[in-house]
Amino acid sequence: MAGMTITEKIMAKHSGRKHVQPGDNIWVDVDILMTHDVCGPGTIGIFHEKFGRNAKVWDKQRVVIIPDHYIFTADQKCHRNVQILRDFVREQGLPFYYDPEFVKNELGMPNPYLDPNKTTYKGVCHKALPEEGHVRPGEILLGTDSHTCTAGAFGQFATGVGNTDAAFTLGTGKTWLKVPPTMKFKFHGEIPPYLTAKDLILLVIGDIGVAGATYKTMYFAGQGISSLTLEDRMTLTNMAIEAGGKNGVCDVDEKTLQYVRHRSRIKNWEIFTDDANAQYCYEKQWDLSTIEPLVAKPHSPDNRDTARNCRDVKVDQAYIGSCTGGKITDMIFAASILKGREVKVPTYVVPGSTEVHSDMKRLNLVGVEKGPNEKSVEDILLDAGCKVGPSGCSACLGGPPDTFGRLGGTEVCISTTNRNFPGRMGSMQAAVYLASPLTVAASALTGRITDPREFVVKPIQTGMAGVL
């Protein structure tokens, strides 16, 4: 009998079977279901319609609701969505809801939190889920958002589902899945200082295309992945969906365990590894020393080129944020280039979570608690001329016209986000280049797409930033 992969083992365990193989259709027990302000109202509506107006969710401890998408806007429909979540949370008595308490029943733009440590609001769901201890190895996480695959960095099966599937899980705790075949991407060597995981995932997607992993597991393996911080691994798995992947997954190691032990309320979980005779439908490997900084040109994440080849492209705006590129390590990467310099184009910075925002104020450039006379990561970015907004999805997906950093015309933008389809950041006429926070910061300084090797001269330390 063929061996099993991490994903197959997680699925087998959650379906009560000893063995599964790609193509099997199975019922699985779900550990966590997450929803947010965009899909939550629709999911709740279907749940009430199909299970009854007085129905209760299958397990209050396993439902997590994180408003994050359309928070800092005067749009009343967006505020209404938050209110629908609040009503449901109250009705069901759900303990894991992260309310933007500053969104009140008032007209106009809500005043953002004043102190990121003193708000119940958490920011982008995929960043907040692990921070708040809802992500563990060996579990199954479903979310009504395509980037739910981010949590695969923690050695779990995590995938996005539609509102109907989510409503079914809300009522039953189960879902029906087909076991995906696994593609293995192996990286040798240590990550060089001028690369981040963003370059690696743009490399992979450029190779296989935006449909290259459709309904497949993308397994990222090798010493190169071990050498990444956990946050950087989240960038890899986050973008598995950009190749059509059902999920992305990484091995569990000490970095994973340190993070999860520190955050999770639940103290027991199971770690799975690929069997030596596990079967892969595709395998490819790279040596990290041969890779150079990459971008995805408009209008697709697989439209790969080197930053060097794009040096003649002028940019009008830079954007550092989102669940892909708004983590504290991303901020430190960008700040390490921007320190003591001044941006040439408007540069918008959006922390991925309120914890990231807090860390930006608390930590210095090497990810350590800053001293009394030291600059914080946020100070460095502000000194360089960046505009720092409140945490949330913000312009990553355009949003209402009053969204911070949104594109409104024919701008060329270089961005740490994950999608560059026409209109994604707000304007059908704009052109978005996806890149690492290093490349975005370097480009913000020159006003044209710039290979970060022009600025990065030594390894960038991030300490325990984003872990503890």
The residues binding ligand SF4 (CB under 6 A) are 69, 124, 126, 145, 147, 322-323, 393, 396-397, 418
| Phi–psi pair at 127, nearest 5 degrees | -85, -40
CB of 396 to ligand SF4, least distance (A): 3
CB of 122 to ligand SF4, least distance (A): 12
Nearest-CA neighbor of 38 among 97, 73, 81?
Answer: 81
Provide the pairing of β-strand 431-435 with 294-296.
Answer: antiparallel
Nearest-CA neighbor of 404 among 419, 412, 393, 418?
Answer: 393
What residue type is 363 in one-letter code?
L
Partners of 314 in the beta sheet? 448
* Cis peptide upstream of residue 147 (ω within 30 degrees of 0): no
CB of 137 to ligand SF4, least distance (A): 22
Nearest-CA neighbor of 304 among 433, 447, 437, 444?
Answer: 433
CB of 351 to ligand SF4, least distance (A): 11
CB 442 within 8 A of CB 454: yes
CB of 72 to ligand SF4, least distance (A): 13
Rounded-to-integer distance, Cα 237 and Cα 253, Å: 16
CB 193 within 8 A of CB 458: yes
* CA-atom Rg of the chain in angstroms: 21
Nearer to ligand SF4, 131 or 145 (CB): 145
Nearer to ligand SF4, 8 or 359 (CB): 359
Nearest-CA neighbor of 402 among 7, 76, 26?
Answer: 76
Rounded-to-integer distance, Cα 168 and Cα 144, Å: 12
CB of 399 to ligand SF4, least distance (A): 8
Rounded-to-integer distance, Cα 80 and Cα 124, Å: 19
Nearer to ligand SF4, 320 or 393 (CB): 393
| Phi–psi pair at 21, nearest 5 degrees | -140, 160
Nearer to ligand SF4, 138 or 160 (CB): 160
Rounded-to-integer distance, Cα 286 and Cα 282, Å: 14
What residue type is 428 in one-letter code?
M
CB of 148 to ligand SF4, least distance (A): 9
Both tokens of 180, joined, read 């995906």
Please state the length of the chain. 468
Rounded-to-integer distance, Cα 86 and Cα 105, Å: 12
Nearer to ligand SF4, 360 or 397 (CB): 397
CB of 279 to ligand SF4, least distance (A): 31
CB of 309 to ligand SF4, least distance (A): 26
Nearer to ligand SF4, 337 or 356 (CB): 356
Nearer to ligand SF4, 20 or 129 (CB): 129
**Residue 444: enclosing H or E segment and its boundaries?**
helix 437-446
Nearer to ligand SF4, 20 or 65 (CB): 65
CB of 56 to ligand SF4, least distance (A): 28
Angle between helices 40-51 and 76-92 (to 10 degrees): 50
Nearer to ligand SF4, 78 or 323 (CB): 323
Nearer to ligand SF4, 6 or 65 (CB): 65
Nearest-CA neighbor of 419 among 300, 251, 295?
Answer: 300
Rounded-to-integer distance, Cα 117 and Cα 125, Å: 17
Nearer to ligand SF4, 229 or 415 (CB): 415
CB 376 within 8 A of CB 360: yes
CB of 96 to ligand SF4, least distance (A): 18
